[in-house]
Amino acid sequence: MGAGMDPLSLIRGVLDTTEDAARALVGRERLRLAVTGLSRAGKTVFLTSLIANLVAAGRGARTLPALDEAVGGRIRRVQVVPAGTETVPRFDPEAHLGALAADPPHWPERTEDFSTLSIAIDVERRTSLGGLLPDRRVTLDLLDYPGEWLLDLPMLRQDYASWSAATLTRLRRGARAEVARDFLAFIDALPGDAAAEDALAKRGYTLYRDALRACRDEHGLRFLQPGRFLNPGPRGEAPLLWFFPLPEGARGGLASLCARRYAAYLDDQRSNFLDPFFTRFHRQVVLVDVLGALHAGQEAFEDTAEALAAVAAVVSGGNWLERLLGAAPTRVAFAATKADHVPSRARDSLAALVEHIALGARGRAEAGGAATSFHALAAIRCTEDAVATLEGQAFAAVRGILLNEGRGATIYPGEVPMRPPEPAFWQSGFFRMPEFRPPRLDPAGASGVPHLGMDGLLAWLLGDAL
């Protein structure tokens, strides 16, 4: 993961690499794909589309033409691996497809816990003389989890004091300062030797949590830590979460209590989330809602870029030992989601923009030996290209059904810059990002899911392994 491996992780890496090699010898490889992204980047929708389109491709449907071409048309069967004795929730593509098959269709519910699923892909093997061998089976392991939790990973490199200093610096500027006014007033009024009282700790936690929620929901900010303050998961708001950042001068019992809970929180996230589910991946895709950040304004856009850089410093790349032991991805794709919200002529700009804001992540991944690529995609396409007329001029636009109003609308979203915008872009104040209704789909997903660019991404990410 780039932050070093403990002895237990080294042992797991050796065992996993040995198992992978043994599977390859008998044509039963396992490929672990990490689908990561900040909150509301569309991981659940991406995984639903990936699964439905792969299964449909295994039935002969032409749902992923670029992937089919990359593997020479040799995909023969694709099926979801039946549940075994797993102790974690199972990703439920049937329920998500059911939401898309409803009348009217609606988007799947946001992820509240982590879940896993495996897909078996049978690939035809041919000899150099043209004969056939038994099919290879590649098992693709997938993981879904709340995007808010991803921002906990950079915290693993910080102690409580450094995290508090960095968090309060961000909290005292821009939109954060206004929504965090009550929390900042609370900690500024605390004496430096405040006692370790649970009433104080819970009051501070509640004010801080509410400030984080307002940052996300009212201002579109994404660099918000800890993740479980925004999405606590099925265990709820346990006392483990009753901590918050304190100024440097705090030295009393309350500061000590917050520091202990901070350390315990990181240990809990490491043992229950990171180590079991988030290490030793072979391939990785990082989803970014660049368009949503543009729509939310300059501060949200810059905050998204900062959050992406912080996460990428942890999850991409890896040292030579981690790579040798299969603990670091060999291919990392960065993808701007919701590309169907802009017309086709703007999608190259969208891919270029995500490349610019992920430059640091790209450098780290490539320094660790991983190949990188950049994409603009829509996991589920819900618009078509159209033309809008504004003040007598024709502009490339998109047309779809508005989610809340249920009526068709032609939308000119505004221009997508190819690099981080200049100040004049923000001064114009024009970038529209409506919510569109998804298309109504077959609940069985037999014909796949309409998309933009999923096949090109999967061809680059998985084609060589299949």
Look at the domain 7-145+281-381+441-465 and name its fold.
Rossmann fold (3.40.50)
Which among 120, 99, 98, 106 is positioned nearest to 51, based on CA atoms?
A: 120
- Structure confidence at residue 266 (pLDDT): 94
Number of H helices, E strands in the chain: 18, 10
Nearest to 342 by CA among 376, 373, 300, 308: 376
| Ranges of residues in the chain whose predicted pLDDT is under 70 | 1-28, 127-131, 277-279, 315-327, 429-430, 444-445
- DSSP annotation of 103 reads S
d(CA 73, CA 120): 17
Whether the CB-CB separation of 20 and 325 falls below 8 Å is answered with no
**pLDDT at res. 225:** 96
Task: Kindly state the tokens that stand for 238.
Answer: 């346990």
Q: Where are the alpha helices (DSSP H) in 26-146?
A: 43-58, 65-70, 93-101
- Burial per residue of 60-84, b for 16 or more beta-carbon CB atoms within 10 angstroms, e otherwise: ebebbeebbebbeeebebbebeeee
Q: Tens digit of pLDDT for each residue in 37-76?
A: 888 889 999 999 999 999 999 999 999 999 999 999 999 9
Residue 400 has a pLDDT of 96
**What confidence score (pLDDT) does residue 25 get?**
43
From the number of C-beta atoms within 10 Å of its C-beta (0-12, 13-18, 19+), residue 462 rates as buried
Q: 331 to each of 147, 283, 286, 356, 379, how far by Cα in Å?
A: 21, 5, 11, 18, 20
User: Domain limits of the chain?
Assistant: 7-145+281-381+441-465, 155-273, 383-428
The pLDDT assigned to 52 comes to 94
d(CA 461, CA 289): 20
Gap between the Cα atoms of 11 and 13, Å rounded: 5
Given this model, what pLDDT does residue 14 score? 46
